[in-house]
Structure 1
Amino acid sequence: MSGTLYGIGLGPGDPELMTLKAHRLISTANVVAYPAPDSGESFARSIAASALPSGVREIPIVVPMRTDRFPAREIYDGAAKEIAAVLETGQDVVTLCEGDPFFYGSFMYLFERLSDRFPIEIVPGVTSLTACAAQLRRPLTSRNDVMTVIPGPLPDTQIRQKIDQAQAVAIMKVGRHLARLKALLAEMGLIDKAGYVERASLPEQKVHRLIDLDAETAPYFSMILIYKGEEAWTLPPSYSS
């Protein structure tokens, strides 16, 4: 009998937003794997740190922060082999993932390499999408509204087309594209309907109406939320953060 691979959604950052199931599995784990940058601490591990048991074996999956996908493929190939070797001994492996494992989550790369060989259980997590909406204090969408999630690095023409076809929009991976996205939304007459959240649920969280944001770049963990449907939802005139 092989061990089970668990993909654990940790939520957006606040450890109290982990599910009870996630906390139970982490606190009883013998082996824990998690993504880590090539410099600095692992965000996933920092969320789960208070739940990690003493003596747990840790498998950091060190992924350089690069745009080229090829090195990441090699790294996940290597991580899958290391995790498979543990699973073959009958031990379970708990893999930590920020947010939700299947919503832009890094766990999906292990899933596609190991799901045909080992039992896998996915534990959903609170996504950054819902966490940002909660901090923005405006609903995401309702009724028959179409909601679209757009990666910020896409070209303006594609972003414009997708926004035109939706009533609610989330733009993720804002980062260095912030100034360009602000200019595009201003041109489309939507900047007053857009809210901005970075590092949702963390102590350093920032929340603004996008029109009030005085910045040219944003961190990776940031999001722009737009509502242009029929509901009379507006943004608060100001935010305390």
Structure 2
Amino acid sequence: MTGGTIYGVGLGPGDPDLMSVRADRLLRTAKHLAFFRKAGRSGQARRIVNGMLHAQVTEFAMEYPVTTEIPVTDPAYNAALSAFYTQCTDHLRALVAQGQDVVVLCEGDPFFFGSFMHLYTRLKDDIPVEVVPAITGMSGAWTATGQPVTWGDDILTVLMGTLPQDTLADAMSRSDAVVVMKIGRHIEKVKSALKTAGKYDTAWLIEYASMPNQTVQKLADAGDKITPYFSIIVVHGQGRRP
């Protein structure tokens, strides 16, 4: 029996209509499906594909051992996740050895700040792994604002809200257009960095881009609301144009 293949399938920003044709085909014919989720949750990636799967599909939920319970700078955080990813890849290798193909769900694009990358680097030298690219979540977010994010020679910088405030402010001040991801409980730090960089008043907050519960508003109008994990801040460039 020949071995199977792991498919890292990008689902796009959240609307199933924005998936690629190849992603749709792989999902509808998948016999084995794997996806990440927080313990006790259904998982955003899994929710996106509701109603698309084969009736006999076997599902493998990969539940993170930690998310925000301990700081990412704590060595225990990295150790827990490293062991977790090793356990996941062991399970996937066993399926491939049995000749099974496995579709791994990836929110956005698999190679853009996604958990799938940690599986990919552990698997790619041993077994066949194919990656299906997709529209990124940030693309869905800036499209939701109804404004182009970059013009002419604008410099676009993508930042994680988990970065130190000084690092955020410095990068923002040197960029024309800015995208900030992984905001959540870091929102006040991100706001302060935007103010320091002089970009707070032009920033937009997009929650659940392209999903049914999408919201779009100026960040300054958001008040003290708590932002969910699926939030993105966008500052549009205003560069050269004819």
Question: 1:104-137: per-residue Cα shift (whole Å, max 9, x none)?
Answer: 1111111011000111111111111100011011
The 5 A counterparts of 1:201-240 are 201-231=210-240
Q: Where in structure 2 are there 5+ consecutive unaligned residues?
A: none
**Counterpart residue number, 1:11:** 12
Q: Distance in 1 between matches of 2:150 and 2:178?
A: 9
C-alpha RMSD of matched pairs (Å): 1.5
Confirm or deny: 8 A CA contact 1:63 1:72 kept in the other structure. Answer: yes
Is 1:117 matched up with 2:126? yes
Inter-partner Cα distance in structure 2 for 1:129 and 1:184: 19
Q: 1:184 aligns with which of 166, 171, 193?
A: 193
SS in 1 for 2:127: coil
**3-state SS of 1:24 partner:** helix
8 A Cα contact 1:198 1:222, kept in partner: yes
* CA–CA distance in structure 2, aligned partners of residues 125 and 153 of structure 1: 24
Note the C-alpha offset of 1:228. 4.4
Tell me the equivalent position of 1:33. Answer: 34
TM-score by length of 1: 0.91
TM-score, normalised relative to structure 2? 0.91
| Counterpart in the other structure of 1:235 | none
Residues 37-186 of structure 1 correspond to what in structure 2 (within 5 A)?
37-64=38-65, 65-66=67-68, 67=72, 68-186=77-195
> Partners of 1:170 and 1:204 in 2: how far apart?
20
Tell me how far apart the structure 1 counterparts of residues 225 and 160 of structure 2 sit (CA, whole Å): 18
For residues 103 and 177 of structure 2, what CA distance do their matches in structure 1 show?
35
Shift of 1:231: 4.7
Counterpart amino acid of residue 20 in structure 2:
T
Distance 1:78 1:9 in 2: 22
Does the 8 Å CA contact 1:178/1:216 hold for their aligned counterparts?
no
Deviation at residue 187 of structure 1 after TM alignment: 3.5
Distance in 2, Cα, partners of 1:87 & 1:136:
42
Aligned in 2, Cα 1:161/1:183: closer, same or farther, shift over 3 Å?
A: closer
Q: CA deviation at 1:192?
A: 1.8
Match of residue 24 from structure 2: 23
How many corresponding residue pairs?
232
Q: Tell me: CA distance 1:134–1:228, structure 2 relative to 1, closer, same or farther (3 Å).
A: closer
> In structure 1, how many angstroms separate the alpha carbons of the residues matched to 2:151 and 2:8?
30
Paired AA for residue 112 in structure 2 = F
Supply the distance in 2 between the matched residues of 1:156 and 1:215 (Cα, whole angstroms).
Answer: 18
Q: Alignment identity in percent?
A: 38
Relative to structure 1, is the Cα distance of residues 155 and 177 closer, same or farther in structure 2, using a 3 angstrom cutoff?
same
Could you tell me which runs of 5 or more consecutive residues in structure 1 were left unpaired when the two chains were aligned.
Answer: 233-241
